[in-house]
Amino acid sequence: MWCSFIFIRWSCFLFFFFFFFFFGAFPGKKEMDTEDGEFMVCGSGGTVEDAQLDDLVGVIEDFMAHFDPDAVFRQLPPFSSVASDHERHRLYREAVLQTEADLDAYVLEHCGSIESLKDATSLILDRSDEIAEEVRDFINEGCFNYTTFVELWKQNKK
């Protein structure tokens, strides 16, 4: 009798395991491919707004990973040739504004779930506590603060 019970229980387990494995019957199943290979994510991905935020933050992180500060400094004159602090600050603001414009264009091009910059801005403002500090700083303060900008400018354009 115990053998029959164990056999039936084991058979049911194997049936359901192979059914789910071969037919992909996991609810909310999503396959992802990474450097370590493929893996499956099961369950709900959250709300549409959650997916939009994940997509948006991922695109911003991708921009940050590929951001080249040297490209910014290649467009500037040598640091020593700009004598006025006001002129240096003006060049800093122009560089930050250009980087922000590049980020805006990158988001609109690569983030299909975001219709406009207004949507992106409101999503970021509404859910800023869910965004990593590095991403928040990059968005709020720009690619670098003025002091860091001046130090890097001195190093790059002597």
Give the residue-averaged pLDDT of 15-25.
48
Span 98-112, pLDDT tens digits: 999 999 999 999 999
Q: By C-alpha distance, which of 52, 55, 57, 153 is closest to 96?
A: 153
Position 142 scores a pLDDT of 80
Q: What is the pLDDT of residue 45?
A: 62
Supply the mean pLDDT for the chain.
80
Whether the CA torsion 42, 46, 52, 56 is positive or negative: it is negative
Confidence at residue 17, expressed as pLDDT on a 0 to 100 scale: 46
Q: What is the pLDDT of residue 16?
A: 45
Rounded to whole angstroms, how far apart are CA atoms 55 and 115? Answer: 12
Distance from C-alpha of 98 to C-alpha of 120, rounded to nearest angstrom: 18
**For residue 119, how many other CB atoms are within 10 A of its CB?**
14
> pLDDT class for 85, splitting at 50, 70, 90?
very high
Task: Check the CA dihedral 92-103-32-49 and report its sign.
Answer: positive
Q: Averaged over 74-84, what is the pLDDT?
A: 93
pLDDT grade for 140, boundaries at 50, 70 and 90: confident
- What's the CA gap between 14 and 9, in Å, rounded? 9
User: What pLDDT sits at residue 48?
Assistant: 87
The pTM of the full predicted model, rounded to 2 decimals, is 0.67
Question: Percent of the chain at pLDDT above 90?
Answer: 54
List, as one string, the DSSP characters of 41-91: E-S----HHHHHHHHHHHHHHHHHHH--HHHHHHTSPPGGG---HHHHHHH
What is the distance between the alpha carbons of residues 119 and 18, in angstroms, rounded to a whole number? 44
The CA distance from 124 to 104, in Å, is 13
